[in-house]
Amino acid sequence: MFSKDDLLQSFASVDEYLGCYFFQHKLPKVTYEYCLHSTQKKDLLVISEGLSDRDFAVKVAGQAPDSLTQDEPCLFGLFSNKYGFTHALVVPNTYHGSLKGRLESKRENLYLCIPIHRCEFSGTESEREFKEMIQRLIPVFRWDRGVCPKIRVYFDNPSTEAGTDEAGVLMKYPTLLTEIDNLSGVVNGFIEITNYKGGVIEIFSPQVEMFTLIRNRKDEKVLTRPQLVEALNGFVHAE
């Protein structure tokens, strides 16, 4: 459990608002606002980048379940809000570096709580996968961000000599669309996409601007690029 005096060791100013502590980390180009709900059972941290919305942060922290564990992430549904977030993801202290340094000894029960769009995380991410996603793919502290669906892509394109091994790579959605354009008319190439729910589709391109979409390893459809993008949007954002 953190006290106001604990936090003042590392932050110049700490406010109390609706049962939470609020403090800021100011950098030359951006300011991070921290909301900490600290109790005997858990310390829950909600962070926003470049904006302040204390009421929203307090409501998110207050909705988190008590049954949290430092062994794995926890996913829970959120109330309707102006940011369009549908869920929040709570991760253990090993998944993040917040409040390290002078407050290291207090981090045993510290959880990071991130408001998310459902398709951005599966809720079963490992520590390594989570860190890669927030560092490279999803600006999780920006509450005004667009939706960043979680997709893992396994592909091979003999024309561009680009590709991955069978494990695939986490990829941004715009990058995937570029790879689809690169695949157009490459008969021996393919793209396999896994969404946040574990669903898998495969894409081939037997001729320029025409694509074969395979669902569940068997259901095939031949689509134009606009039709394929429409199908992809439904697949990667699926609730």
Q: Does the pLDDT value for residue 227 go beyond 90?
A: yes
Q: Does the pLDDT value for residue 239 go beyond 80?
A: no
Q: What separation in angstroms does the CA of 4 have from each of 19, 56, 59, 100, 134?
A: 12, 21, 20, 16, 28
80-132 pLDDT, tens digit per residue, is 999 999 999 999 999 999 999 889 999 999 999 999 999 999 999 999 999 99
What number of residues does the chain have?
A: 239
Tokens representing residue 227 in the block: 């039709």
What average pLDDT score do residues 180-197 get? Answer: 97
% of the chain surpassing 90 pLDDT: 95
Cα gap 82→122, rounded to integer Å: 23
Q: Does the pLDDT value for residue 218 go beyond 90?
A: no
Q: Does the pLDDT value for residue 76 go beyond 80?
A: yes
**pLDDT band at residue 217 using 50, 70 and 90 as cut-offs:** confident
Cα gap 216→201, rounded to integer Å: 7
**pLDDT band at residue 237 using 50, 70 and 90 as cut-offs:** very high
Tokens representing residue 39 in the block: 């109790």
**pLDDT band at residue 48 using 50, 70 and 90 as cut-offs:** very high
216 or 22, which is more confident?
A: 22
Do residues 189 and 158 touch, judged by C-beta distance below 8 A?
yes
DSSP assignment of 118-167 equals: GGG--S---HHHHHHHHHHT--TT-TTPPP----EEEEEETTTTEE--TT
Sign of the C-alpha dihedral, residues 154, 158, 162, 164? Answer: positive
**pLDDT band at residue 32 using 50, 70 and 90 as cut-offs:** very high
Q: Does the pLDDT value for residue 216 go beyond 90?
A: no
